[in-house]
Amino acid sequence: MTEIAPTTPVDLLGLEPDALRHELEGHFEARGQKPYRARQVARWLYETDVRSFDEMTDLPAGERVALAEAFAIGEPEIDTVQVSSDGTAKHLWRLGDEERVESVLIPTEDRLTLCLSSQAGCAMGCTFCATGWSGFQRHLTAGEIVAQYRASRRWAAENGYGPITNIVYMGMGEPLANRPAVHASLTILNQGFEVGARRITVSTVGVVPGILELARRPEQFKLALSLHSPDSTLRQELIPLEKRWPLPELIQALEAFDDAGGRRITFEYTMIRGVNDAPELAPRLAELAYRLHAFVNLIPFNPIPWQDWGPSKPERIRHFADVLRERGVDVAVREPRGRDIDAACGQLRANALVQIED
Ligand code: SF4
């Protein structure tokens, strides 16, 4: 007797809107239902935060049962939530296979930014990053990335945070090392959930093919580069990927992104005392940022247990900011958020960014 393998229900949250419509219309057609039923389901998915098909109350009961047999709505479980005294909220999500990933909600006066993860762990091994030290487990699917947004949106609404206005791919993982899922999730968030492309930032440590792919997308998704040094040799010590795509090659890719127009690059520069804050690096950083029309975020390093590094002194950070300004570069010094709960995005760990430049 042939054994029939059980089929895994398709996660609707992981389908791009066109594929979702196609899949659902096929499903309803086979059941003798009108195609508009697909639009009803899409509305429930994108415009509400219902957890189950059973809550889709404008569908007949029999159709809700049939949907639940054929499809799933990806939903991570909350493992823990920690809320900082400054309102920053860190979720640790438990995925279906027990992997755990973090996302962070960062409220400021006029926006609510969600920092989400694209991988469980990370293979890049950046020396300043807690995620880098914990190793790589696996890529997230598009559905798992999008589900962090949907579940965070529900939590934010239930807890008086209001709507999520901005998204940064800056949690655990290197997004451009998981490009198929990240590209699909960008499309779903933008076209399905209608989050404006200019409100979504992909942050990378410098995956050149990924930057070029992002540059070719017609939507104006924004790019943040974890630069951390304008000097290739020093950068290698902080970001091992620099050996694979050294600064000259990386700069070419950034130029292509800049030339694609309409969206400014942001440089993230974590300032580590005695490591990457030598005064002579400031003009080199300014020159690079000026050339690429980049906005620079200077972020005081937040210590991690296994490194005896500390943040640069405030006067050194001011010096960098002054040099950048004098040379015509827009710069901001960012306050670490959620320090008391270790609420950081994977890349910068406890240095979750308040905002990416508009
Ligand atoms: S900084 Fe980003 S790319 Fe580097 S190890 Fe951390 S999560 Fe990975």
| CATH superfamily, domain at 77-341 | Aldolase class I (3.20.20.70)
- Using the mean position of ligand 1's atoms as its centre, give its distance from the Cα of residue 3 in Å: 43
Q: In the chain, which segments carry CATH 3.20.20.70?
A: 77-341
Q: Is the pLDDT of residue 353 over 90?
A: no
Is the CB–ligand 1 distance for residue 204 below 6 Å?
A: no
Whole-angstrom Cα distance, residue 199 to residue 28?
34
User: Selecting from 3.40.30.10, 3.40.980.10, 1.10.150.530, 3.30.450.40, what CATH number does the domain 10-72 have?
Assistant: 1.10.150.530
0.85 exceeded by the pTM?
yes
Listed in order, the ranges of the chain carrying CATH 1.10.150.530 are: 10-72
CB 121 less than 6 A from any atom of ligand 1: no
173 Cβ closer than 6 Å to some ligand 1 atom: yes
Q: Which residues are catalytic?
A: 102, 345
Mean pLDDT, the chain, rounded, equals 91
Does 174 sit in the ligand 1 pocket, CB within 6 Å? yes
pLDDT (average), residues 298-304: 86
Helix ranges (DSSP H) in the chain: 17-30, 36-47, 61-70, 130-134, 142-158, 179-187, 208-216, 232-238, 247-260, 281-291, 314-326
Question: Quick check: CB of 126 below 6 Å from ligand 1?
Answer: yes
pLDDT at 60: 97
* pLDDT attached to residue 339: 66
State how far the alpha carbon of 282 is from the alpha carbons of 90, 127, 224, 227, 260, in Å. Answer: 33, 21, 19, 13, 27
pLDDT at 131: 79
CA distances from 258 to 205, 215, 312, 328 (A): 17, 8, 30, 17
User: What proportion of the chain, given as a percentage, has pLDDT over 70?
Assistant: 92
Compute the distance from residue 346 Cα to the ligand 1 centre, in Å.
6
The whole-number average pLDDT for the span 287-313 is: 90
Give the model's confidence band at 94: pLDDT under 50 very low, under 70 low, under 90 confident, else very high.
Answer: very high
Tell me how far the alpha carbon of residue 348 lies from the centroid of ligand 1, in angstroms. Answer: 8
What's the gap in Å between 204 CA and the centre of ligand 1? 8
Atom of ligand 1 nearest to the CA of 132: 5
